[in-house]
Amino acid sequence: MRSKIVTILKFQEDVNKAVAAAKAAFERNSEWRTMSPASRGELILKLADLMKRDKEYLAALESLDNGKTYKNALHDVGFSIDVLKYYAGYCDKIHGSTIPSDGNFMTMTIKEPVGVVGQIIPWNYPLGMVAWKWAPALATGCTVVLKPAEQTPLTALVLAALAKEAGFPKGVVNVLPGYGPTAGGAIVQHPGINKVAFTGSTEVGNKIMEGVGQSNLKRVSLELGGKSPLVIFDDVDVDRAVEIAYGACFSNHGQNCCAGSRTYVQAGIYDEFVKKAAEKAKRTKVGDPFAEDTVQGPQVNQEMLDKVLRLIESGKKEGAHLQTGGCRKGNEGYFVEPTVFSDVKDDMTIAREEIFGPVQSILKFETLEEVIKRANDTTYGLAAGVLTNNITTALAYAKSVRAGSVWVNCYHAFSPQAPFGGFKQSGIGRELGEEGLKEYLELKTVSIKV
């Protein structure tokens, strides 16, 4: 008990130090606050350039730390650079408006950085999540204290070193590795932090809301779990649909908040789709993330391996039809066989819980009205997809599905310009795009008596 208290106090002390540094960097006359917006943009671009210089190193470290394939890690580094560049361009374009208010006043609004921001990120996109969190925070002029996931702290630490090399003033970015309840908890509770941005489980998202309520009502943005539906109508090319559905569900080994983990297939093509989806999954090359031809590496750790296997077992027990996979792959490492279940029913655990693993659940449907209802029958609302050649069907689905992103005839269509975030218990607020900036700004109204 005593050693636990000492550990908690130690984390508290570290968080205090990081917050003090971030607060000092945010002081009114500090170098950071008095820097021109254009120079702030140049620093962010410099960081992006340094990441480009070190991209192979960053990707290798990410792959080593997380288990994702080197190829995917390299893609993540590229996307992270794009996100930084996109927000760098915003630095000198953040402005308020003038308002024709009643009475003899001239009224204007000013957009100001929210202040010191605590950022808590997960292990599935360790480097990508740093970029998504830092870019809008730094573009708006905030200072940050970031806690990477305990499973994958390495690339965030390298990015901190690159930020130093780029020339960010002392205290603007702080990286603090540590565990969730201790280091993360201390960030959430800290009275010196003005906003917390979090990506991770809905369970911890709830704890963050509680902690914020108990401390100083920090601003909050949350990007949480999902159980996203991909709906496939029978007017599409089945082979193409199988490919898209595979990418939707299995990319990043299924460790993806917006994984298309409920595959609804219309009755007319259902049997053919199931057969081909199982063949596709079976062909997946699982193994060493650094090998050229590997498509799927290991899950991140024992805990996640156990969770995925437990959910696969629930699928078998509850009567879903196992088409392929269904077991751990080999006896070493955290590898899972790419798994496909058909005849999944909406009330089965595998159709309701976020699995975060390489498991596809295929469900049959007949009509648009029916499938909209079923797609929306979830506590989540992060993403959704639809494959059809009928524009009316696509638009009806896109308008009716309760999700933050809807992908039509594609999936995982991410770009730095397009906002991303959840309806319902998938989150609060948006990341990326112009919307992502708003999460880091306070709006001030100034009225001048004329």
Ligand X SMILES: O=C(O)C(=O)C[C@H](O)[C@H](O)CO
Binding site for ligand X (CB under 6 A): 79, 124-125, 128, 199, 256-258, 412, 414
- List residues with catalytic annotation: 223
> Which of ligand X, ligand NAI, none has residue 360 at its interface (CB below 5 to 8 Å by kind)?
none
Minimum CB distance to ligand NAI smaller for 339 or for 388: 339
Q: How far is the CB of 434 from ligand X (least distance, A)?
A: 18
> Which of ligand NAI, ligand X, none has residue 436 at its interface (CB below 5 to 8 Å by kind)?
none
The torsion defined by the Cα of 134, 140, 142 and 147, in degrees rounded to 10, comes to -20
Nearest-Å Rg of the Cα atoms of the chain is: 23
What span, in angstroms and rounded, lies between the C-alpha atoms of 258 and 246?
Answer: 13
> Which of ligand X, ligand NAI, none has residue 128 at its interface (CB below 5 to 8 Å by kind)?
ligand X
Minimum CB distance to ligand NAI smaller for 44 or for 304: 304
Minimum CB distance to ligand NAI smaller for 121 or for 320: 121
> Which of ligand NAI, ligand X, none has residue 150 at its interface (CB below 5 to 8 Å by kind)?
ligand NAI
Minimum CB distance to ligand X smaller for 91 or for 204: 204
Q: How far is the CB of 409 from ligand NAI (least distance, A)?
A: 24
Minimum CB distance to ligand X smaller for 290 or for 414: 414
Q: How far is the CB of 48 from ligand X (least distance, A)?
A: 16
AA letter at 140: T
> Which of ligand X, ligand NAI, none has residue 79 at its interface (CB below 5 to 8 Å by kind)?
ligand X
Q: How far is the CB of 308 from ligand X (least distance, A)?
A: 16
C-beta nearest to ligand X: residue: 257
Q: How far is the CB of 150 from ligand NAI (least distance, A)?
A: 5
Q: How far is the CB of 312 from ligand NAI (least distance, A)?
A: 14
Residue 42 burial (C-beta neighbours within 10 Å; 0-12, 13-18, 19+): middle
Minimum CB distance to ligand X smaller for 337 or for 431: 431
Decide the pairing of beta strands 321-324 and 383-387: unpaired
> Which of ligand NAI, ligand X, none has residue 184 at its interface (CB below 5 to 8 Å by kind)?
ligand NAI
Binding site for ligand NAI (CB under 6 A): 120-124, 147, 149-150, 179-181, 184-185, 188, 199-201, 204, 207, 223-225, 257, 307, 354, 356
